Every structure is written in C-alpha cells, then in structure tokens.
Amino acid sequence: MDNNVINMDERRPSDLDWKKYTRFGVGILIFIIIFGLIIGNAYIAQEGEYKVVRQFGEVVDVKENPGIYFKIPFIQTVETLPKYHLIYDTPPTEINTKDKKRLLIDNYVIWKIDDVRLLIQNVRNVPGAEQKIGDAVGSIVRAELGQLNFDEIVTDESSQRGSFNDSVTEKVDTVLHRDNFGIKVIDVRVKRTDLPETNEQSVHNRMISERQSKAQEYLSLGDAEANRIRANTDKVVKEILAQAEAEGKKIQGEGEQEAARIYNQAYAKDPAFYELYRTLQSYKVTLNNEPVIILPINSPYARILMGQY
C-alpha cells in the first residue's frame, strides 16, 4: 500500500506540468489567432488614394486621409481608388464638318474623382467613369466641330485651338457634374486630327490640285511682274538712248559749227589758197580709180590744169 501511494504521488506533478503547458500553448495559439485577425484586417490609406470600405457590397465608409485603419473581419472589404489626376486617351471621334467633310478627332482628358460615393453609385469604378467621359467628349466635340468648315479646323491657330479646348472642357465637366457621376474634368485637349481612310486619298488629290492651282497662280503673277519689269527697263533704256542720241547730235552740231567757223577764218585769210585746197580735195575724190573725165574748157578743173588759176 505504501508503495502504491508513493507511485501515485510521483505521477501527480507530471500531470500538473502537462496541464500547465497545455493551457500555455492554447493561450499562445489564441494570441496568434487574435493577432493574425488584427493584422489581416488592418489596412493602410496612403497619400494620393481613397480607401473604400464595403459591407455586404454597400459602401459604408471612405477613408480620404492617410493612416492605418481596421475593418470588420469576414464582413467588410476594402478597395482602392486613385485620388490624383488621371489621364484618359479617348477613342477617336468621327465628325462631319459644316461643309460635309469627314474627320477623325483624337482627344485626351485629364480628370479626377471628385466624389467617391457618387462615382461608385453611378459608374461603379474607374473604367466606368472613363466610359462616361468618352461618351460626353465625343458628343460635345462632334457638336462643336460640326459648326466649323474643314479648312477652319485644319488651319486653326493655337490661340483659337486653346479657346476651343477650354470650351469643350467646360461643357464636358458641366454634363458630368449634372449627371452626378462624381467626376471633375480638369482639361480636354485635341491630340490629333486625321482623315478617315475612305476619303483620305480623295482629299489628298484635292489638296494636290489646289496646291498646283496655287502654284500656277504664283507663276502667272511672277510672269506678269517679270513682263512689267522688262517693259519698264526697255522704256528706261529707250529714254537713255534717245537722250544720248540727242546729246550726241547736239555735240556733233556744235562741232560742225566750230569747224565751219574755223574754215571760214582760214578761207578769209587766203581765199585763193583755200579754193585751190578744196579743188585738190575734190580731185582726190573725183579721180579715184582713174576715171576718164571730159571737162569743158571753161571749167575750174580745166583752167587749173592749163595754169590759168
């Protein structure tokens, strides 16, 4: 009996230790589970983002400020939406201009989420918001540019283009705000204008024809200007030549007058010698090539030849 009692007493401390360790392990396990639930249901809202808390699909809270927050496990879920400005490249919009020309307009939009609850309620998410933005931009751009001619759109100056972009931005933002989509449109810009493939070649040919016509017009203007310059030049040349000819005749007349004066002075000093000189000069001309001359007996030539001068 004493031995049995001793053996039972020896077993009791071991049982006590086992129960103590079991309780300790269970406590650690519970702590780990609780800690895991806390960590697993904590979420961080960072700068530049919204944290949307849903409970059974309904939005129950929106965290806009950065920080650490907790949700109810298994009941609530958290999704993230951007708080910063977003850029959406809208699909190209095909329009008909006022003069019945077809044109493709490619735009991009800068926008942001202005009211998270309205956005989720009416468009659900960012792709849905972009779909609404694209529809509004396409409709307003089509209406605005449909009032302009093709040439006015293609040759639009930067200042006018900026005014058009501002007008479209204001109208798109007004429409989206009116429909409570929770969207704020910052800017709408025309990125590119293109021609549809179906009429690109015909427009290209028309532009070539117009440029050739314009080139021919410039050539005609150039020819007319060249003819005018040549006519003016010919007129000036004729005036210069006429003036030079008149001046030459004037000088020639003055020279002949001076020569006659000198001849008269010389003739007055010795008329007989001058008459002889003039007669000899005439001989030089008359007797050139040795002609046969028949002279009357009383001619000056005959008297000189007979020594009767």
Give Cα 9 distance to the centre of its chain: 101
Q: Are 45 and 71 in contact (CB under 8 A)?
A: no
Q: Are 192 and 156 in contact (CB under 8 A)?
A: no
SS (H, E, C) the chain: CHHHHHHHHHHHHHHHHHHHHHHHHHHHHHHHHHHHHHHHCEEEECCCEEEEEEECCEEEEEECCCEEEECCCCCEEEEEEECCCEEEECCCEEEECCCCCEEEEEEEEEEEECCHHHHHHHCCCHHHHHHHHHHHHHHHHHHHHCCCCHHHHHCCCHHHHHHHHHHHHHHHHHHHHHCCCCEEEEEEEEEEEECCHHHHHHHHHHHHHHHHHHHHHHHHHHHHHHHHHHHHHHHHHHHHHHHHHHHHHHHHHHHHHHHHHHHHHHHHHCHHHHHHHHHHHHHHHHCCCCCCCCCCCCCHHHHHHCCCC
Tell me the two tokens of residue 90: 């809208």
Q: Which residues contact 189 (CB under 8 A, 6 or more apart)?
A: 107, 108, 109, 165
CATH 3.30.479.30 fits 86-194, yes or no: yes
pTM comes to: 0.56
pLDDT in tens, the chain (309 residues): 444 444 444 445 556 667 777 877 778 888 787 777 778 788 999 999 999 999 988 999 999 999 999 998 889 999 999 999 999 999 888 888 888 888 888 999 999 999 999 999 999 999 999 999 999 999 999 998 888 887 777 765 544 555 788 899 999 999 999 999 999 999 999 888 877 766 666 667 777 888 888 899 999 999 999 999 999 999 999 999 999 999 999 999 888 888 888 878 877 777 777 777 777 777 777 767 666 767 777 777 777 767 666
Q: Where in the chain is the domain with CATH 3.30.479.30?
A: 86-194
